[in-house]
Amino acid sequence: MDPHRAELSSANTTLDDLVRRVAGAAEQLHSTGEEALAHDLFEVERSLRAAQRRLAGVVGRMSAA
């Protein structure tokens, strides 16, 4: 396995963990009425998910090469 691919795959796994943690915090804040903070964290979650999809695409293309 290409060392870059392995490292990037690991980074994608880390992103997955970050997405779950940020989403969980956002949900908790939302349920306690902290709408502004929850909104900001939901935006962070969306950005992380977009980064995760993009990184997964790169890793996939590395596999095909």
Span 13-65, pLDDT tens digits: 999 999 999 999 999 999 999 999 999 999 999 999 999 999 999 999 998 87
Burial (CB < 10 A; 0-12, 13-18, 19+), residue 50, is exposed
* Domains of the chain by residue range: 3-59
User: Quick check: 1 pLDDT over 70?
Assistant: no
* 30/27 Cα distance (integer angstroms): 5
